Structure 1
Amino acid sequence: MSDFWDFIQHLFNPRWIFLYFGNAALFILLAIVFAETGFFIGFFLPGDSLLFTAGIFGEDLCKNFYNVPFFIIILIVAFFAILGNIQGYWLGYKSGELLYRKKDSFFFKKKHLILAKLFYNKYKSTALIMSRFLPLFRTFAPIVAGAIRMNFKKFMIYNVIGAIAWTYSIMLAGHYLDKSFPELKNHLEWIVLLIVFITTLPVIIKLKKSKKKKLLI
């Protein structure tokens, strides 16, 4: 059991994933990207920091995967991000109403689902693009889209745009920053913390605002 929890803790250290798994690191990355949007328990997974780190270790990923160009690696990651959203959509489509009646647990908080629905109601279909860059909403936005029976073709358009924008922007940022500043690898932990802070700050602000509204009501 202790080995399992050690592994879970290491998942939050993207550098460890790429250094420890070597040739299999890409498959771990793809599994996490898929699970983060494909299942409601995926909200705690380190998607943004992992993509950024993947950009830094882009050359290694290419070498370990038949020496394909880096943009192909990003395209593969984007494809799995699209698949994850499709899984989330059908999860919401098939069991959306049940999720709203589901009791809170360690992996599931109904308030997160409700917050994502409010976010979706405010930004409509574009929420599927914006949510890619916000950890909590990234997980629940496709579930909400499925629960409200959003047109699937329309969902797929925003799904594809969001996935490509998310993966290419973050992975290329890591890739080219590493080219310009190779010493980034020596300070990766601080960079990951900064990314986590930047991406979660809007979520924290949104949660606080929603709490204040409840108190006023």
Structure 2
Amino acid sequence: MIAVNPTDSASLLAAFGALGVLVVIFAESGLLVVGFFLPGDTLLFPAGVLCAATARHAPRLELWQVLLCAAVGAVAGAQVGYLLGRHGGRPLLARTSNRRVQENAARAERLLARYGYRKALVIGRFVPMLRTVLHPAAGALGVPLRTFTLWQTVGGLLWSQSLVLAGYLLGSSVSPVDHYLLPVVAVIVALSLLPLLTEARHTRRERRDRSRPTGS
């Protein structure tokens, strides 16, 4: 019997292959608490690498299957998250006692307010943790269904397909790729966190400006 660690991408891919990509990306794209701790970027990129054939190894996953499962999981998961938020409202986001979920729900609201629905739904896809709460938050805040569906689909496809294809290109061009996989994944995670750092700095600046005494 294979022991599967749901937070470890290598374990998930070894046990379930492309189907594991679909299930995990579905949950990570909109199921609060459950999806919050699942791998996203760090699952899609290695899955793409495993689709590449090298001189020593045949591809361990089929590229078309991974691309399809990633797309379906990303789009369907976000849509379910939106519907949960739309019918559950703000109490759904406030019900959890997890501090990180609550913090990212607040960030999702600020992102939607600052950039507008279209940009926020695309940008938010590339930010770990934030994307899990972004779609329920959009439903709770009353983002129009048609607008949400269009732009979450655009964001979901850009995010999921680009990471899988990036992994595939690396696996096809570098051998042995195992020596470079972990550093590249670390770089991807670091880059994906940049929007959160920028947003946090902007929030601190706004608070500092509000706290300054105004002239008479």
TM-score normalised per structure 1: 0.81
Does the 8 Å CA contact 2:29/2:132 hold for their aligned counterparts?
Answer: yes
Among candidates 145, 148, 152, match of residue 145 of structure 2: 152
Using the alignment, how far apart are the partners of 1:72 and 1:15 within structure 2?
17
Using the alignment, how far apart are the partners of 1:15 and 1:194 within structure 2?
18
2:55 aligned residue: none
Using the alignment, how far apart are the partners of 1:37 and 1:168 within structure 2?
14
Does the 8 Å CA contact 1:38/1:85 hold for their aligned counterparts?
Answer: yes
State the 4+ residue runs in structure 1 displaced beyond 4 angstroms.
none
Using the alignment, how far apart are the partners of 1:101 and 1:174 within structure 2?
37
Among candidates 97, 101, 109, match of residue 117 of structure 1: 109
Using the alignment, how far apart are the partners of 2:145 and 2:96 within structure 1?
28
Q: CA deviation at 1:72?
A: 4.5
Alignment of 1:6-25 (within 5 A): 7-8=5-6, 11-12=7-8, 14-18=9-13, 20-21=14-15, 24-25=16-17
Alignment of 1:14-93 (within 5 A): 14-18=9-13, 20-21=14-15, 24-41=16-33, 42-58=35-51, 59-62=59-62, 70-93=63-86
2:134 aligned residue: 141
Against the structure 1 CA distance between its residues 44 and 213, is the aligned structure 2 distance closer, same or farther, given a 3 Å change threshold? farther
Higher helix share: 1
Does the 8 Å CA contact 2:25/2:74 hold for their aligned counterparts?
Answer: yes
Does the 8 Å CA contact 1:15/1:188 hold for their aligned counterparts?
Answer: no
Rg (Cα) greater in structure: 2
The residue identity in structure 2 corresponding to 1:34 is F
Does the 8 Å CA contact 1:95/1:147 hold for their aligned counterparts?
Answer: yes
Q: Deviations over 1:94-128 (max 9, x none)?
A: 1222135435326x532211111000111112211
Q: CA deviation at 1:204?
A: 3.2
Q: CA deviation at 1:212?
A: 5.0
Any idea what SS the aligned residue of 1:183 has? coil
**Identity over aligned residues, as a percent?**
28
* Structure 2 unaligned spans of 5+: 52-58, 212-216
Does the 8 Å CA contact 2:70/2:161 hold for their aligned counterparts?
Answer: no
Q: Deviations over 1:114-165 (max 9, x none)?
A: 1110001111122111111111321122112101222212211112211111
- The number of aligned residues is 199
TM-score normalised per structure 2: 0.81
Against the structure 1 CA distance between its residues 176 and 104, is the aligned structure 2 distance closer, same or farther, given a 3 Å change threshold? same
Q: Could you say what the CA RMSD is over the residues aligned between the two structures, in angstroms?
A: 2.3
Q: Deviations over 1:50-76 (max 9, x none)?
A: 1011100113222xxxxxxx2353023
Using the alignment, how far apart are the partners of 1:166 and 1:53 within structure 2?
14
The residue identity in structure 1 corresponding to 2:45 is F
